[in-house]
Amino acid sequence: MALPAAATAATHILEVNDLRVAFRGFNGRAEVLQGVNLKVGRGERVGLVGESGCGKSLTVRAIMGILRTPPARVEAGEILFEGRDLLRMRQSERNALKGRDLSMVFQDPGTSLNPVFRVGEQLDDIKYWADRRRGQRMSRAARRERILEVLGQVKLPEPALVYDAFPMQLSGGMRQRVLIAMALLNRPTLLIADEPGTALDVTTQDEILRLLDGLVQEEGLSMLLISHNLGVVRAMTDRLYVMYAGAVVEEGRTADLFKDARHPYTRALMRCVPRLDGEGDLVGIDGTLPDYADPPAGCRFHPRCEFAHRRCLTRPPMIEAGQEGHRSACWLEAPK
Amino acid sequence: MSGPQQPLGTAVTEPVLLRVQDLTKQFRRSRGAFDRNPQVLRALDGVSFSVRPGETYGLAGESGSGKSTLARIILGLTRPTSGTVQLNGVEIAAPGGAGPGMSRVEFARQVQMVFQNPGSSLNPRRSVMQSVGLALKVNGVAGADVRVRVGDLLEMVELPRAVANKYPYELSGGQKQRVAIARALAPSPRLLVLDEPTSALDVSVQAKVIELLQRLRAELSLTYLFISHDLSLMRTFADRTGVLYLGQFAESGRTDAVFRTPHHPYTRGLLAAVPVITAEEERLKEGLVRITGEVPSATNVPPGCRFHTRCPAVEERCRVVEPERSGDPRTHAVRCHVFPVREPGT
């Protein structure tokens, strides 16, 4: 495989280039994602962190192809999965990838399972349809065996009992484990996890995260982890993207980012997090997220930025594409 | 009624605003009218603590630990099964009883509450003026004064006076929570019960609201009872902390003591599970053993030490004998056979 395209496919399992998503509503057009770039390497654990409304879930929904269109519309960009553009392939091709090679762990264990079907039936459905889309058939007994195997993998005690249980008979932590099992069922290569364990108690969340971490390493998966919790992404990822108002404002190796955050937003965000050792004062960020229908000109963070100067008010800073390593979308950072 | 665990000398005069004594709350869960053996859910099981005027007392615990039941009893929303709550020496909650030993209005002037979700605790059909104005009437403010006072209160929580004419849907989450705080402050209470006041907010907004609450406490000499599951926030905000497990304090005392030298394996396990952002915090977690499993049902509290089913340091006696409280709850106390607090000088 000497082709350059194949070479990229070998290094990055997922590559999102200049993704732009806009909404049309009664108040006109709102450009929410304004050119998101991100990459996930093979076997890499990548984090996407930001506060509510920053566009992190929207990015993930666009990747998974579960955006509501309308009102949303992907206006530009490409999403390369193993080198193939998800946005430009036939729907049937995309569906065959979705839930199989490209799988997602959903956030809310309370609402992501159907309350009227047994856990086993829901998992069986997923297995059955994923196989059928690939033109494969498995007996019900064989599917059941695979499901019990995965339920055991997520360390649910008594998989056979869970198989026959209704979601309401399980605790929140167990339901989250079922959702992870669901995502692993078809042996994906890329796992997208949206705030796993966020709705759970801290000890349960910790267990879920450690489980996920172990599975990712065991199975050699690549992972894109979405979270609003800086502590969680610090523990769980190798590389990190920080989003604000629909754009990535900083990226780099997780360790570097926590040691030496560069973008004023990332720095401010870190000062907002209360510390377990009680050190440091909590400093919030004044102002609110801008209105997407009427965003500020220039850098979208400038109205809340203590370092904003004239250039920030008019010209949006960019993270130059192509460079590797730690960089931030800020004029203070940009080379002359 | 001072129980056997009450060490001698605790009763010596120190100013106390809120005194909770041996509070127990049981709920009966019957499965229909003919259920002869209704289950008893022990939500609270002998909880005692005192809050001094001007301090922030934190109640930490996972879901099902009883922290919300405790808040509801203090607010008079439900009655305890046994035990009492005193505010400034006046009984405000007791089993059966005639309710608070003061009028409803007087009670409202003493104790107010800020709820977790400002989206549902503010009436969507009332303007901010109406919501906050109603709370002012408790204090006998009427007529044109209401408009002025509402404006003052909004300024106090760092909102523009014009917010008075807005409705909740026009406000952001942080602004709504500020309005909820303004409403709670309207009757000039002495004690504010804060039930997860920032857990629905983003961290950047949470930091601002916490800063505001800290300033208000100093300026208005308020006392806070702060309920949260966020231990890092507890560390930053509370002067003293009680860690609840299945309706009982596992450990309590000065926040820095509890966090710096946690004794109870449950507290240690909780701290070990908190995601942190610096190497210094990581160091604090070193050597702490994580805990696994889930909180048992409160209808079936384990015998002996209630934590023994999940405890990494469990011994034989823990399964049989319920541990007594060791140490002084004013500084550091713990209920554990294996790691008791040894009082200095003894």
Domain A4-101+186-328 grouped into CATH 3.40.50.300: yes
Contact A228 B269 (CB under 8 A): no
Strand arrangement, sheet containing B82-87: B39-51, B18-29, B82-87, B90-93
Residue B313 structural domain: 18-335
Rounded to 5 degrees, φ, ψ at A314 are: -120, -35
Residues in chain B: 346
Testing the interface with B: which of A202, A228, A230, A283 to mutate, by most B Cβ within 10 A? A202
- A-contacting residues in B 111-170 (Cβ below 8 Å): none
Domain locations in chain A as residue ranges? 4-101+186-328
- CATH code assigned at B37: 3.40.50.300
Please report whether residue B263 resides in a domain.
Answer: yes
Structure confidence at residue A311 (pLDDT): 86
Q: What is the CA radius of gyration of chain A?
A: 21
Q: How many domains does chain B have?
A: 1
Residue B10 lies in a domain: no
pLDDT at A308: 86
Tokens, residue A200: 């759970």
**What residues contact residue A206 under an 8 Å CB cut-off, 6+ apart?**
A197, B272, B273, B275, B290
**Measured between beta carbons, which residues in chain A are less than 8 angstroms from residue B204?**
51, 268-269, 272, 284-285
| Segment 229-248 of chain A within 8 Å of chain B by CB | 229-232, 234-235
Nearest to A231 among B277, B280, B292 (CB): B277
Distance of alpha carbon A230 from alpha carbon B153, whole angstroms: 34
- What are the pLDDT tens digits along chain A (336 aa)? 344 444 444 579 999 999 999 998 777 888 899 989 999 999 999 999 999 889 999 999 999 988 888 888 898 999 999 888 998 988 888 888 887 889 999 877 678 889 999 999 999 998 888 888 878 888 889 999 999 999 998 989 889 999 999 999 888 888 999 999 999 988 899 999 998 888 888 888 898 999 999 999 988 899 999 999 999 999 999 999 999 999 999 999 999 999 988 899 999 999 999 999 988 888 889 888 888 888 888 899 999 998 888 888 888 887 765 556 888 888 886 543
Of chain B residues 14-53, which have a CB less than 8 A from chain A? none
Instruction: Tell me if B135 is assigned to some domain.
Output: yes
CB contact under 8 A, B206 and A230: no
Mutate to test the interface with A, among B116, B163, B203 (most CBs of A within 10 A): B203
Most distant CA atoms of chain A, gap in Å: 67
Q: What is the ipTM of this complex?
A: 0.85
| B331 lies in some domain | yes
Closest Cα in chain B, distance from residue A75 (Å): 29
Per-residue pLDDT tens, chain B, 346 aa: give them.
444 444 444 455 678 999 999 999 999 877 776 777 778 889 999 999 999 999 999 999 988 899 889 999 999 888 999 999 999 888 888 787 656 678 888 888 899 999 888 888 899 999 999 999 998 987 888 888 899 999 999 999 999 999 999 999 999 889 999 999 999 999 999 999 999 999 888 999 999 999 999 999 999 999 999 999 999 999 999 999 999 999 999 999 999 999 999 999 999 999 999 999 999 999 999 989 999 888 888 888 999 999 999 999 999 999 999 999 999 989 999 999 999 988 654 3
What gap in Å lies between CA A301 and CA A104, rounded to an integer? 30
pLDDT at residue B2 in the model: 40
What whole-number distance in Å separates Cα of residue B170 and Cα of residue B50? 40
Q: Which member of A51, A207, A270 has the closest CB to residue B202?
A: A51
List C-alpha distances in Å: A313 to A122, A262, A265, A299, A302.
Answer: 51, 19, 16, 6, 7
Residue whose tokens read 């920032």: B198
- pLDDT at A286 (0 to 100): 87
- Residue B285 lies inside a defined structural domain of this protein: yes
- Residue B41 φ then ψ, to 5°: -100, 120
Residue B194, amino acid: L
Residues of chain A with C-beta less than 8 angstroms from the C-beta of B270: 202-203
Q: How many CB pairs under 8 A join A and B?
A: 119
Quick check: is B340 in a domain? no
Distance from CA of B208 to the nearest CA of A (A): 5
pLDDT at B98: 59
Judge: A277–B211 Cβ closer than 8 Å, yes or no: no
> Is residue A186 within 8 Å of residue A147, measured between CB atoms?
no
B65, closest residue in chain A (CA to CA): A201
Suggest the residue from B178, B240, B277 to mutate for an interface test with chain A (most A CBs closer than 10 A).
Answer: B277
B185 φψ region: left (φ > 0), alpha (ψ -120 to 50), beta (else) = alpha
Residue A301 main-chain phi, psi, to 5 deg = -90, -10
Residues of B with Cβ-Cβ distance to A51 under 8 angstroms: 202-204
Question: Nearest by CB to B62, which of A203, A228, A269?
Answer: A203
Does B7 map to a domain?
no
**Reported pTM:** 0.88
Helix (H) or strand (E) holding A38: strand A28-41
Distance from CA of A246 to the nearest CA of B (A): 16
Left, alpha or beta for A318 (phi > 0: left; psi -120 to 50: alpha)?
A: beta
At A78 the pLDDT is 93
